Structure 1
Amino acid sequence: MRALVAAAIGLVPVLLFVLLVSTVDLPPDGPTSPRPLLTADPGPKK
């Protein structure tokens, strides 16, 4: 039982950090491309 409590206490900061990073959504460093990497439309055939 003590091991479960210790594991839960150890995981709380990790879960809080993951939630913080997912809600803040920091912008990437450097220039970014306006074109998306993945598109639903493949475009014209070459």
Structure 2
Amino acid sequence: MHVGSKGWYVEQLKQKGVRHIEGRKIEKYKAHVLANLLEEKEQ
């Protein structure tokens, strides 16, 4: 998996225990949404 790809963001968020956003699986969201969420979780 390439760093910065949608799959990479999904994997990183799952490692942090995030599997759903507002009741929807994180796989349903686009990469830029996941990137912003990961940035929030790292702060």
**TM superposition score normalised by structure 2:** 0.32
- Structure having the larger proportion of residues in strand: 2
Q: Considering Cα pairs closer than 8 Å and 6+ residues apart, tell me whether 1 or 2 has the greater RCO.
A: 2
Higher-Rg structure is 1
